[in-house]
Chain A
Amino acid sequence: MDMLTALISIQTFWKILLFIHFLLAVVLLGAVTLQAVAVSMPARQAVGNFISRFSPVPAASYATMIAVLYLPQALMGAWIYVKYRTYVRIPMEGFRHWWTVGSFEFKEHVVTMGLALLPAYWYFWQQPLSEEHAVIRKCVTIFLAFTVWYSFAVGHIANDFRGVGS
């Protein structure tokens, strides 16, 4: 850490970390959205509008990647959260941005609940897929997609207040 801060300023270090957090979030968002769409959509139709002809991904192949991405992403967020608490939230409260503060507080809980579902989520997507767990597999996948979308949106708003490029 000391070697790193000798090369770049501490502020730049945290901004790079935040940017990596953002890039990982984009990849995770893409993967989890495609999987959620794949489990939600009926079988592909040859004719019809764009949505009907949309070809979902083989959903099962995304499960391990999503689980592997979600965990370090949450850990990285937990690390950056230290700086948020001291350097972002306090001025945020000073400017009375209560909605942003509250939404970010809720993000903590949303991510934590998503994290706890990861072992079960990974288990439900193990091959060959169990027909018995089809409904819960679909619901857990959609719930995880919600956690990622919510966290992405709220994180972006907090970043706009004080973060990369703000």
Chain B
Amino acid sequence: MTQALDLDLRSAPYGSPRATSAPTSRAGTSKFGTFAITFGIAFAILYTLCERQNWPLFTYHPAVDRLDIWRQPGIPEDGPPMFWYGWVVLSAAGALVVGWIAAIASGPWLQRATTFVCLLAALWPACFALAGVIDERASFNAEFLRSVWVSGIPAVIGATALSYFVSSRWVERAWTGWLLFMPIGGLVILGYSLNSYFLR
């Protein structure tokens, strides 16, 4: 039934404004489509980063109804600070800028750049987690591996190599797929960070 309806809806008169504005191919993806897809991918990465690093644009203190710029935990008398609004606004602002740049400068490089960033976003936490495992099990002192920047080196190398060597066809096909992988990956990281609540 769904397929039948979709088929019926697709049969809009050729040349009509609705038909011409529709996304028909990657090359034909409208500027809004490019913006929307890039925004979704960028937001998921930026939000996960902002939450994990605790980078809010502002901090809200609901008990005293006060807004502070950046991260201000405040004194205990101010009540609990709320960072979530600050993370969302900062991530949204960043994703808007990235999406806008993508929309005005879309081209084959955009998909490859997206692939690089997404691979980096996936490899960096994976390398960091692996470094933690090595540090725990190694017989020598491997504490230097716990540095975020040290684990970033293999992540950058891996992302660069992979995004350079994968075919243009794969990059093109994977482009919209990142839209789903990045939020799910972000939720896995964010969910894991909450494990202290579930393991008490």
Binding site for B on A (CB under 8 A): 38-39, 41-44, 55-56, 58-60, 78, 81-83, 85-86, 89-90, 96, 98-99, 101-103, 105-106, 108-110, 112-114, 116-117, 119-120, 122-124, 126-133, 136, 139-140, 143
Contacts and interface: CB of A to CB of B under 8 A. Distances in A.
Interface of B: 1-6, 9-12, 18-19, 21-26, 30, 32-33, 35-37, 39-40, 43-44, 47, 51, 60, 62-63, 79-80, 82, 84-85, 88, 91-92, 95, 176-177, 179-180, 183-184, 186-187, 190-191, 194, 196-198, 200
Given A86-B80, A98-B200, A140 B187 contact: no
A140 B200 CA distance: 34
A5 B116 CA distance: 53
Contact of A116 (B33, B35, B47, B198): B47
Contacts of B198: 98-99, 102
B2 A128 contact: no
A89 B10 CA distance: 49
B22 A85 contact: no
A30 B10 CA distance: 25
Nearest to B99: A119
B86 to A, nearest CB: 12
B171 to A, nearest CB: 15
